[in-house]
Structure 1
Amino acid sequence: MNRGISLHVVDVASGCVAEGLGLSLLRLDGERRVAVCEGRIGADGLLGELAGCAADCVAGVYEVHLEVAAFYRARGMSLPEPAFLDVLVYRFGLADTAQHYHLPFKLTAWGVSCFRGGA
């Protein structure tokens, strides 16, 4: 991948990719949020739906919404109500559209880590 955004999600509690985790990618346009892509993490840990979205990636501010609580509940984990992490919102900026921005998320029901890869 030469440009655009890619997302990879690993459930570090199980040591496996977070296959089936629902998420959406939005671009902020003033007060509006414009949907760029949404889907579920695949068996490779990636959001495959993003592959065709490189042309939609313009410089600006973006949000990834990860459906953390729903993911863990679907796997039978008992979480409190409300869950510590329900829908996790991760906001980041994309300054240079000629570059590739890879966001590798590592998560549990209780925490998350992410950094910019793919520079």
Structure 2
Amino acid sequence: MKTGITTHVLDVTQGKPGASIKVELWKLTDSARSFISKGITNEDGRVDTILLEKVDNGEYELVFFVKEYFQRLEVKNNFLTTIPIRFYTDETQKHYHIPLLLSGWGYQTYRGS
């Protein structure tokens, strides 16, 4: 059984995984943000490492740095630069997978499996 917080990126415009995108994980407490970990998506669009091994109760933020990704693809007039996704966790749930479906003009996410 998987544990922790994981992610991947799919570029729906290209119909391919979003490779080489920097991702950071932050913990939110009251008005403070605490850095936890970072990773880079591989050729399959997945961050190889688990961003957080043990899930506890709380609010987290994944930040996807997509500006450089779009620049590498030579996307003109791209709209997005960074994408923050905030979510809550419950320690009774051992694994949270947060995918990012990406295009140059918008994005979508959901709780994956």
CA RMSD of aligned residues (A): 1.7
Match for residue 112 of structure 1? 107
Aligned with 1:84 (options 79, 85, 93): 79
3-state SS of 1:49 partner: coil
Q: Per residue, is there more helix in 1 or in 2?
A: 1
Aligned with 1:94 (options 67, 89, 96): 89
Residues of 1 paired with 2:2 and 2:39: CA distance? 22
Deviation at 1:97, TM superposition (A): 4.8
Deviation at 1:13, TM superposition (A): 0.8
Count of residues in Structure 1 that have an aligned counterpart in Structure 2: 113
Moved more, 62-71 or 90-99: 90-99
Match for residue 44 of structure 1? 44
Q: Deviations over 1:28-81 (max 9, x none)?
A: 122221112112111122111326x313x32100111111222101221122xx
Deviation at 1:106, TM superposition (A): 0.7
Can you give the 5+ residue segments of structure 2 that lack an aligned partner in the other structure?
none
Residues of 2 paired with 1:87 and 1:64: CA distance? 10
Residues of 2 paired with 1:22 and 1:105: CA distance? 13
The TM-score with structure 2 as length reference comes to 0.88
Are the counterparts in 2 of residues 85 and 111 from structure 1 also a CA contact under 8 Å? yes
Are the counterparts in 2 of residues 69 and 109 from structure 1 also a CA contact under 8 Å? no
Are the counterparts in 2 of residues 37 and 50 from structure 1 also a CA contact under 8 Å? no
